[in-house]
Amino acid sequence: MGTDACEECEELRGLHRGDQTVSRKQSWSSRLVAETLRDLARGATYADASIRMRKVTGRTRTRTQPVPGSARPTYTGSRLARNAWHIAADWCETFSPVLWGHVEAELVAGNGRDSEERERLWLAGTPNPTPMMVLIDDIPINARFVDEDGANSSRRDYFVLVVAEVAWGQTVRDTIDRQLRLRLVRAYPSNDHHAYKLLFDELGYTPDFILADAGKGLMKAVADFYKGGITFVPSLFHVRAAVEKGLFETQGAWVRASTRAPKELRGDVGSHLAGLRKKNLTTMTVPEWSGWWNDLEALLSSIGAPVEPTRRRRKNYEQAIADILPTLAALPQLPVSTGGVEVAIRKRIEPMLTNRAHAFANLERTNRLFDLVVCDDYGLFDDIGLVVSLLRTDSADNHGWSTPLRAVADRQPPKTPARGKPYSSLRDQQLLRDITRAKGLA
């Protein structure tokens, strides 16, 4: 009496023992919210996640009858239906910090243990075979539109900055296994030094190595924030891409199979560039590295091609690579390319951006969505029961209440933006500088 079968859980439930709601004033169960957050973390749009929720529960947030006493008796809630995406967006805003707080605490604890091990080895005068290393890459988001003259145009909208950590494994046949895991993903209006300083500040520790493209904003942020306390490793992928681009700008260094065929590097030039790989770089001395550039310039001169485009790249990268050659010789297990980060971007970040990158407008909510991506990469959503437990624990700790909805909603600025466009904190360059200044990082 008073029991019924639960097909999902394969157990008997009491008459009054249904799924617990996620918090007071919410009619949705903790499990439904947990599953929706998982779907968002894996690329589902706010709208798709909300539609799934409504199908599962058979409910809708729209009003099917006119509001009693409304000045607009024909208002049946059709516009509310178009705003159904706010359900999942609200859950992201409210409950992502709960899950991210759990994952971040474990990541910070792991960083603390790694820092203690680094200190112990340093005091013992022993080399550290598993240094703390982060890889950084960014994704430019461009907006395409038709300008006043009717021509197709584009502008840089905002950037997504991605930080991945090297997680060292066991030593197998004198080779230390390593994996990359996402550590921090942030969307900012720019990728200048202000954005990277905020990124480093949130990272919360000083790594031994930073591997990235040697962009001006990043390099300035590294110099200002760490003040020489880390070793910067230029990404070999970006170095090679820059040199290759310079060669394609050099008349005589490339050929075409036909008038309509794409450019191809001359065989001898392409062979020389192919030598720019990790296997060769980790065994090079500084003189040999300079010799590689000398040989490239001599080759270009011998075929009558100008060397100036290549010399500009040499000025940017020769000394930067020369500075780390001794380190690479001592620690050949270090990665020298951001290829692993780009794989993570394709698998984890791009599904969040495909066909909707232009629609993100709120700085804080967007970054809370990216926190869910890191949680999923960490493996949190592999155990949906743990996610439900975290949501319930947070609710109990706050006497059943959750954060008020729309607490991070953008406010319209006093002055109307240019051309009447709605305000977007994700595109507010001044806001980025104000936050940096408020944190004492400017």
Per-residue pLDDT of 269-293, as tens digits, reads: 999 999 999 989 888 999 999 999 9
CB 333 within 8 A of CB 177: no
The H-or-E segment that residue 23 falls in is none
CA gap 178, 334 in Å, rounded: 9
Looking at residue 30, its pLDDT comes to 87
- What's the predicted TM-score (pTM) here? 0.85
Which residues is 152 bridged to in the sheet? 146
Residue type for 280, please?
N
pLDDT band at 113 (very low <50, low <70, confident <90, very high): very high
Looking at residue 172, its pLDDT comes to 58
Furthest-apart CA atoms within the chain: distance in Å: 94
Residue 418 has pLDDT above 60, yes or no: no
What b/e string do you get for 270-301 counting C-beta neighbours within 10 Å, with b at 16 or more?
eebbeebeeeebbebeeeebeebbeebeebbe
Looking at residue 75, its pLDDT comes to 40
Looking at residue 81, its pLDDT comes to 44
Residue 77 has pLDDT above 50, yes or no: no
Residue 253's closest CA among 242, 241, 267, 239?
A: 267
Residue 297 has pLDDT above 80, yes or no: yes
Mean pLDDT of the chain, nearest integer: 85
Listed range (82-86, 185-189, 251-255, 324-328) with the worst mean pLDDT: 82-86
Task: Calculate mean pLDDT across residues 426-441.
Answer: 92
Residue 339 has pLDDT above 80, yes or no: yes
Task: Calculate mean pLDDT across residues 348-356.
Answer: 92
Residue 208's closest CA among 289, 111, 319, 286?
A: 111
Give the HSE-up count for residue 355: Cα atoms under 13 Å, Cβ half-sphere.
6
Listed range (30-34, 142-146, 340-344) with the worst mean pLDDT: 142-146
- Dihedral angle sign, alpha carbons of residues 375, 380, 384, 388: negative
Which residues is 139 bridged to in the sheet? 160
Query: Of 10-14, 198-202, 306-310, 355-359, which one has max mean pLDDT?
Result: 198-202
CA gap 426, 410 in Å, rounded: 10
Looking at residue 174, its pLDDT comes to 60
The pLDDT > 70 percentage for the chain reads 83
Residue 216 has pLDDT above 70, yes or no: yes
Task: Calculate mean pLDDT across residues 201-228.
Answer: 93
DSSP 8-state secondary structure symbol assigned to residue 410: P
Task: Calculate mean pLDDT across residues 76-84.
Answer: 51
Looking at residue 181, its pLDDT comes to 94
Looking at residue 398, its pLDDT comes to 83
CA gap 168, 233 in Å, rounded: 18
CA gap 412, 428 in Å, rounded: 12
Backbone angles phi, psi at 350, to 5 degrees: -60, -35
Task: Calculate mean pLDDT across residues 112-125.
Answer: 94
The H-or-E segment that residue 47 falls in is helix 46-57
- For 133-157, the DSSP string reads EEEEEEEEEEEEEE-TTS-EEEEEE
